[in-house]
Amino acid sequence: MDFEDVYAREHVTRKFLNRKVNEKTIAQIIRAAQNSPSLLNSQPWRAYAVMGDALQDLRKEYEAMVQEGAHAHEDFASMLSLHWDTFPSQNMANLGASQTYFFNNKLELFNDSNNTMFNAPCVIYLTIPKESPAWSVFDLGIFGQSIMLLALNKGLAVMPAHSLVAYPELVRKYAGIPEDESVGMAIGIGYEDKKAEVNDAKFIPKRLPLKSIYKLTK
């Protein structure tokens, strides 16, 4: 696929079809994503794919915890400072994904999709060592972006979501992640359910005008 076309497809998918993804394809994607740059080639990332019966069981426990109202406690929330400047906070309040659903009077579509792990047939959990500098978070983000673009190029759809890592102990149990790694992010991968309302293009949040984020000096 032409790179511009791949990039133009980069919007999240909040409901996947039941169709399985090929495990060899996932391994190929991760192998290719290892080409991503990282500080001094530190390659701090690790990727843990969960699918099939293991994901079914994980999802069951996840949904039960959501139903109980279990408090989300992502590893990054304890590992990193989460004090946000007003600039991103205001963007979330004005242009955030949940706002877009809210203003269309469809917030329940957003919540239901998150609460059911987007029906993803495969989730890739991404970790870095707990003892990491901020650079490693940057490296993990690049690695995640590589995974998503490579997946889109293969006709797959992607869903990066911190809600997928809300209960790290569950992820550790099913993915076999050691205690000294921080479960940073997760990406759901599969085939888009094009009929699902939650995936409608009207829910893609707008971006800021270029001039508010870009400045050229010469």
Ligand X SMILES: Cc1cc2nc3c(=O)[nH]c(=O)nc-3n(C[C@H](O)[C@H](O)[C@H](O)COP(=O)(O)O)c2cc1C
Footprint of ligand X (CB under 6 A): 11-12, 14, 97, 114, 160-163, 185, 204-205
- Residue 198: CB minimum distance to ligand X, A: 9
Residue closer to ligand X, measured from CB, 186 or 216: 186
- Sign of the CA dihedral running 186, 148, 32, 143: negative
Burial track 99-131 (b if 16+ CB lie within 10 A, e otherwise): bbbeeeebeebbeebbeebbbbbbbbbbbbeee
- Residue 160: CB minimum distance to ligand X, A: 4
Residue closer to ligand X, measured from CB, 129 or 205: 205
- Residue 99: CB minimum distance to ligand X, A: 9
Residue closer to ligand X, measured from CB, 129 or 160: 160
What are the backbone dihedrals phi and psi of residue 87, each rounded to the nearest 5 degrees, phi first? -60, -60
Q: Which residues contact 49 (CB under 8 A, 6 or more apart)?
A: 23, 26, 30, 122, 123, 124, 125
Asked if 170 and 61 count as a contact pair (C-beta separation under 8 A), the reply is yes
- Residue 62: CB minimum distance to ligand X, A: 13
Residue closer to ligand X, measured from CB, 53 or 85: 85
Q: Which residues contact 118 (CB under 8 A, 6 or more apart)?
A: 13, 14, 15, 16, 159, 161, 188
- Residue 184: CB minimum distance to ligand X, A: 9
Residue closer to ligand X, measured from CB, 114 or 136: 114
